[in-house]
Protein backbone atom coordinates (compact mmCIF):
# COMPACT_ATOMS: atom_id res chain seq x y z
CA UNK A 1 0.00 0.00 0.00
CA UNK A 2 1.33 3.39 -1.00
CA UNK A 3 1.88 5.77 1.90
CA UNK A 4 0.25 8.73 0.16
CA UNK A 5 -2.30 8.08 -2.58
CA UNK A 6 -3.71 10.44 -5.15
CA UNK A 7 -5.73 9.95 -8.30
CA UNK A 8 -3.31 10.64 -11.13
CA UNK A 9 -5.98 12.28 -13.29
CA UNK A 10 -6.11 14.17 -15.48
CA UNK A 11 -8.90 16.00 -13.74
CA UNK A 12 -10.64 18.35 -16.17
CA UNK A 13 -12.61 21.25 -14.71
CA UNK A 14 -14.31 24.13 -16.55
CA UNK A 15 -12.98 27.62 -15.91
CA UNK A 16 -14.73 29.27 -12.99
CA UNK A 17 -15.78 26.00 -11.36
CA UNK A 18 -14.46 24.40 -8.16
CA UNK A 19 -11.66 21.89 -8.55
CA UNK A 20 -11.51 19.24 -5.85
CA UNK A 21 -8.30 17.28 -5.32
CA UNK A 22 -8.15 14.38 -2.90
CA UNK A 23 -5.44 12.51 -1.05
CA UNK A 24 -5.37 9.64 1.44
CA UNK A 25 -2.49 8.58 3.63
CA UNK A 26 -1.66 5.40 5.47
CA UNK A 27 0.26 6.54 8.55
CA UNK A 28 -2.26 7.43 11.24
CA UNK A 29 0.48 9.22 13.19
CA UNK A 30 1.06 11.80 10.44
CA UNK A 31 0.90 15.33 11.71
CA UNK A 32 1.60 17.74 8.85
CA UNK A 33 0.00 17.92 5.44
CA UNK A 34 1.04 19.91 2.43
CA UNK A 35 -0.16 20.71 -1.05
CA UNK A 36 2.40 21.60 -3.71
CA UNK A 37 1.69 22.84 -7.22
CA UNK A 38 4.12 21.85 -9.96
CA UNK A 39 4.02 23.32 -13.42
CA UNK A 40 5.58 21.27 -16.20
CA UNK A 41 9.36 21.66 -16.15
CA UNK A 42 9.33 23.56 -12.86
CA UNK A 43 10.00 22.65 -9.25
CA UNK A 44 7.19 22.15 -6.72
CA UNK A 45 5.75 25.25 -5.10
CA UNK A 46 4.13 25.07 -1.68
CA UNK A 47 0.61 26.48 -1.82
CA UNK A 48 -1.04 25.20 1.36
CA UNK A 49 -0.21 23.43 4.59
CA UNK A 50 -2.52 22.24 7.32
CA UNK A 51 -1.89 20.67 10.70
CA UNK A 52 -5.30 20.54 12.41
CA UNK A 53 -8.58 18.88 11.54
CA UNK A 54 -10.97 21.06 9.64
CA UNK A 55 -10.64 23.65 6.92
CA UNK A 56 -7.95 26.19 6.20
CA UNK A 57 -8.61 28.88 3.61
CA UNK A 58 -6.14 31.04 1.73
CA UNK A 59 -7.56 33.07 -1.11
CA UNK A 60 -9.12 30.73 -3.66
CA UNK A 61 -7.59 27.68 -1.98
CA UNK A 62 -9.08 25.65 0.87
CA UNK A 63 -7.32 22.69 2.43
CA UNK A 64 -9.45 20.20 4.35
CA UNK A 65 -8.10 17.64 6.80
CA UNK A 66 -9.88 14.69 8.38
CA UNK A 67 -7.42 12.71 10.47
CA UNK A 68 -10.00 10.11 11.51
CA UNK A 69 -10.54 9.22 7.86
CA UNK A 70 -6.88 9.85 6.96
CA UNK A 71 -8.00 12.14 4.20
CA UNK A 72 -6.85 15.53 3.02
CA UNK A 73 -8.23 17.56 0.16
CA UNK A 74 -7.61 20.78 -1.72
CA UNK A 75 -10.40 22.88 -3.16
CA UNK A 76 -9.68 25.54 -5.75
CA UNK A 77 -12.53 28.00 -6.24
CA UNK A 78 -13.07 30.03 -9.40
CA UNK A 79 -10.59 27.84 -11.28
CA UNK A 80 -8.39 29.64 -13.78
CA UNK A 81 -6.40 28.26 -16.73
CA UNK A 82 -3.25 29.20 -14.77
CA UNK A 83 -4.28 26.60 -12.17
CA UNK A 84 -3.56 23.85 -14.71
CA UNK A 85 -0.67 21.94 -13.15
CA UNK A 86 0.15 18.79 -11.21
CA UNK A 87 -0.80 18.99 -7.54
CA UNK A 88 1.28 16.97 -5.11
CA UNK A 89 -0.06 15.95 -1.73
CA UNK A 90 2.64 15.49 0.90
CA UNK A 91 2.56 14.16 4.44
CA UNK A 92 5.18 14.32 7.14
CA UNK A 93 6.46 10.93 8.21
CA UNK A 94 6.09 9.53 11.72
CA UNK A 95 9.80 8.82 12.17
CA UNK A 96 10.84 12.43 11.78
CA UNK A 97 8.74 15.54 11.76
CA UNK A 98 10.87 16.80 8.92
CA UNK A 99 10.69 13.88 6.51
CA UNK A 100 7.98 14.42 3.93
CA UNK A 101 6.38 11.69 1.83
CA UNK A 102 4.96 12.78 -1.50
CA UNK A 103 2.04 11.37 -3.40
CA UNK A 104 2.34 10.77 -7.11
CA UNK A 105 0.32 13.88 -7.95
CA UNK A 106 -2.93 14.74 -9.70
CA UNK A 107 -2.84 16.48 -13.05
CA UNK A 108 -5.42 19.26 -13.17
CA UNK A 109 -6.56 20.80 -16.42
CA UNK A 110 -8.79 23.87 -16.44
CA UNK A 111 -10.66 24.14 -19.72
CA UNK A 112 -11.78 27.59 -20.94
- The phi, psi pair for 84, rounded to 5°, reads -65, 115
Comparing CB distances to other proteins, the nearer of 2 and 17 is 2
Residue among 94, 95, 89, 92 at smallest CA distance from 107:
89
- The 8-class DSSP code of residue 83 comes to G
Q: Which of 51, 53, 66, 80 binds other proteins (CB under 8 A)?
A: 51
Q: Which of 16, 39, 46, 59 binds other proteins (CB under 8 A)?
A: 46
* Residues 6+ positions from 39 with CB-CB distance below 8 Å: 45, 85, 86
Q: Is 12 in the site for other proteins (CB under 8 A)?
A: no
Q: Is 58 in the site for other proteins (CB under 8 A)?
A: no
Binding site for other proteins (CB under 8 A): 31-32, 34, 42-46, 49, 51, 88, 92, 97-100, 102-105
Amino acid sequence: QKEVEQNSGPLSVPEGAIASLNCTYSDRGSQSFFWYRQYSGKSPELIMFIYSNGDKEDGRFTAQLNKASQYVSLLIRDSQPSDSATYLCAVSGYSSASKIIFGSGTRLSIRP
